[in-house]
Structure 1
């Protein structure tokens, strides 16, 4: 059990309002409350070096999920498990075009598990310093945000080099609206706050902490036969994948296309090479390491759901009405987002081993989200029978 910190006794903190956070929202933060001298010093140096107030940038994909590029790579953090000591330490920025913001959120998810580039991050904040050509399979926090909006077609990002984008660049952009006061709400610190991550302070380890490293290892293994395929058949692929999920997407589509080719020597060779890549990807994805991390994360979520369900039977339940309504809405959004891949006409089942495995895993995650939705809806209906529907 995490040791209690008396600092939080009766202390008010800030959390994200589950009903206000939207796809594509950009969160800027500064590590002002860190207990680590080094962590705070690095944060201060980044903010000062970039002539801004913040040192880190995150992007909301499908609420409550935030995506970020950190030392271990591009990974996710759940906003429900986060808090902020002082709203001056963060900014929540919103792009005015919701369609572009949503597209940026989708683009960011394709960069999941990319490796982190410390060299590029340093080069972005030190004028005139070039530490070698940046690799397209590596990124850093604000570059991830800028590249995602550029891929989404945001005109302001067409001429901006993502690898030269800093948190200060995003902070100074006149295009974003500051919605910090709308998105954050002040609450009395939670009983389990020591187990939560402070976006302006100390982070807590997550059971999914190693996922970015693991999936980058998978990506690196797949890149060897993919590069060989691209060298043998130039022009076959429109781009070289830069993350595991881009590989997954490419393999699923390619397997479907090569199965339609006529029976020729070249087509058979292409099918054989594609099959080798597909089998390797399937072997990696089905080995169980990634699924074990998912299971551990779901166990933590289960603990929270059990608490909510038990509280719902009490006359004065410790259930945040607005927060739970928002969590229900966000869970429905997650279900819609995950379900969208199940009927992709460019990647139908039966052609790719790894894509079929990904569909199987998606079905399992949907079952989990449906379970969460059912528990939350039941608990809320019992605790607040007259509450509006989510």
Structure 2
């Protein structure tokens, strides 16, 4: 009986290696002799489309285009600014021309009324007021005209002598006391009880001095309202006068002009006196004021102007409304610190009310 050969695991492994070795060698030889396999990868998406020089050129051209765009924008802004300046200049020119044209009627009207007065012999012109002094000499009387343009309503006022009723000072004293540049006598007066009292209704600083008195006989009130416009006439009631908002005013006689028309002069005042030194206040259509002060060497009726003559003169000068103020020895005209007229008393008469004008 044949015995079986027993082999260990290690011996078995060696046996397999010996058997397979020729085959493994043949396989390696074939692999080494054959062309090695190539790995196919798509790397086109990772490859730059353009060269670095091309990209640099593109960036440079982009910057040049941006610079040109900026230059064009700046030029456009400059053209717009220039056009704006030209437009603004044109609009300013149009506005100035419009303002000039708007003031032309006033200028023409002022030239027209001034031409009738002649050449001023003295002028005061400030931001608040313009005063022009003229000589008036129609042949049968002499005097002066003072044309006044109130640019500020507060450039004119009325004062009492020494600031209270019953007291009287000259117009020159009133001008000096209040620092005025010009002044004239105002309303009439009555002497009594040791004083010189304003006649009838007198209004100062927005209030009645001695209360309201209805206009009687030929008396009339004259003054300025809160807007610096001349007001006046006969008033039967206080409400009638208050509606005109008076700021100050005085009373005398008579009314000479209303709305450019001569008013009838009461018979008494045509002959009592016939001629006399006179003080008249009036206004033009543009609210400029005109003061007439005529000369006279006494109050006997032989020198000075008649009221009818003054009416004709006022009408000739184009005055709208006019009122006679106190005259005779009371007539006073002060300008720049001096007495312009020649008082018939030989010196200025103290009176209770004065119209004053300020620079």
TM-score range, shorter chain: under 0.3
TM-score, structure 2 normalization: 0.20
Whose Rg is larger? 2
Bigger proportion of residues as helix: 1
TM-score, structure 1 normalization: 0.19
